[in-house]
Chain A
Amino acid sequence: MKEVTVEVIGVDPPCKRCQATYKSVEETASTLKAKEIDVKIFKLNVQSKDTIAKYGVLVPPALAINNVVKVMGRVPEKKEVERLILATVK
């Protein structure tokens, strides 16, 4: 079992596009379980100082995989999330 941390960085209260991003990550996570990959999902608030200290100014919704921002300002499709995660784990 390999582990991946995925952070969905959005606004709080969540906007529609942030929710869509979260959903596509969630769905990808359940697909990847079959491939022996454990995806841990976290929600970050783009406006909080911790997030900004960690990543700088981001355009929500953004996606960070293993602490590297890979997607920003757009809603990624499921297959894109899967591709990104697989590329990181490999």
Chain B
Amino acid sequence: MLIFIFFTVGYLIYSRIMAYSLAPTIEPVDLRGLPLWEIPIAYLVNYFYHGWICLLFAFVAAGLVYEFVPKEVITKYMSGGKVTGYGLAIGMAPFLTVCSCTMVPLFAGILYTGAGIGPAITFLLMAPAANILSILLTGEMISWELAGVRIIASVVVALTAGIIISKTPWGKTIEKEHQLNSSSSTSRVEIVKPPLDERLWSALKFGGYIAKQILPFFLLGLVAVSYVEAYLPEDIVGTYLTGVTGVLIASVIGGPLYTPTLVEIVLGKGMWDMGMSKGALLSWLMGQPYDVANALAVSRIVRWKVVLTYMLIAWAGSVIFGLLYGVLSGSL
């Protein structure tokens, strides 16, 4: 087991040193000449030829981190007041939400305990934007610079949204409605850690579980991307997905198209190759908060007014950061 983990990490480092690209290298021009059914196949073969180690590493790493991150910290300190609440929401969100089914329950939990609605919203926005799996893939496939910017931008946007919502009258109403006054539960949690070999095994199993959940959609997404690359004319991308309009358009379509399956990263990479600006790419990747399924689940707890507020803030944030990053990096 350890050998397998070392192999995965080692091979990734090796491939980095050898400096070949882990992202697909096939050019849109190559795809255009092919018959319709061959396009996805050529793209997938090319993708997995380069990308398999990156995917394998991402899933193994996600499994390991998720297994070993001390989850009881949340239970212990989440009721410790506002500042700790915000800090924890930002610090822990990236590690806890590899599995999408934990997000809404944790959101509710944070809301009901002492921390209140601000940290809950921060957690909710931070979670999909900066989970380890998507950060790893953004870094490997697009660039580590963009991955870094994405993290910073998510932190700022999530914090702002949390603080603003906790100040609005409707946010306060909801907080009062849900507040529980008993916070004497810490003594009831005593996590028993199993031996290391069992933990490693369970980490790998969890990595496999995430892979099984995500890969089918990921493959479908790749097929879609291959057609986009083959048939979307480059001048359309160049005209509409650059400049200020590019950022605006990317931030708007990024939301509805978002699926928590990493496809947005591949699609973003594809469009970037075709001339999308860096600023627009960042806005595109930051589009998650309009993810409809999550918004629906959350609205059942906090009602639409809060959901709309945080969506608006998150959207504004993605536009502002897209423009800012575009100007600073000279690629608007």
Which residues of A does B touch, CB under 8 Å? 11, 15-17, 46-47, 49, 52-60, 64, 67-77, 80, 83-84, 87
Contact = CB atoms under 8 A, between A and B. Distances in A.
Contacts of B178: 49
Nearest to A12: B105
Contacts of A49: 112, 178, 180
Nearest to B115: A57
A20 to B, nearest CB: 9
Contacts of B75: 55-58, 69, 72
Contacts of A72: 71-72, 75, 189, 191
A54 B101 contact: no
B180 A73 contact: no
B105 A77 contact: no
Given A17-B101, A56-B113, A71 B192 contact: yes
B109 A17 contact: no
B188 A55 contact: yes
Given A47-B105, A56-B75, A69 B113 contact: no
Interface of B: 66-67, 71-72, 74-76, 78-79, 96, 99, 101-102, 104-106, 108-110, 112-113, 178, 180, 182-183, 185-186, 188-192, 194, 198, 202, 205-206, 209
Per DSSP, chain B at the interface is: helix
B102 A59 contact: yes
B116 to A, nearest CB: 12
Given A17-B101, A46-B109, A84-B192, A56 B78 contact: yes
A55 B96 CA distance: 18
Contact of B185 (A53, A70, A76, A77): A53
A61 to B, nearest CB: 9
Given A47-B108, A53-B180, A69 B190 contact: yes
Contacts of B76: 56
Contacts of A67: 188
Contact of A77 (B72, B104, B202): B202
Nearest to B69: A73
Given A73-B96, A74-B206, A80-B198, A54 B67 contact: no
Nearest to A57: B109
B74 to A, nearest CB: 5
Nearest to B301: A47
Contacts of A83: 194
Contacts of B106: 57, 59
A15 B101 contact: yes
A52 B109 contact: yes
Nearest to A75: B202
A68 B79 CA distance: 18
A78 to B, nearest CB: 11
17 contacts: A17-B209, A46-B105, A47-B109, A49-B112, A56-B78, A57-B79, A57-B113, A59-B74, A59-B102, A68-B190, A69-B75, A70-B190, A70-B192, A75-B202, A76-B194, A77-B194, A80-B198
> Which of A57, A71, A76 lies at the interface centre, i.e. has the most chain B CB atoms within 10 A of its CB?
A57
A47 B180 CA distance: 13
A84 B198 CA distance: 14
Contacts of A75: 202, 205-206
> Which of A15, A59, A71, A74 lies at the interface centre, i.e. has the most chain B CB atoms within 10 A of its CB?
A59
B204 to A, nearest CB: 12
A80 B40 CA distance: 44
A55 B66 CA distance: 21
A10 to B, nearest CB: 9
Contacts of A54: 185, 188
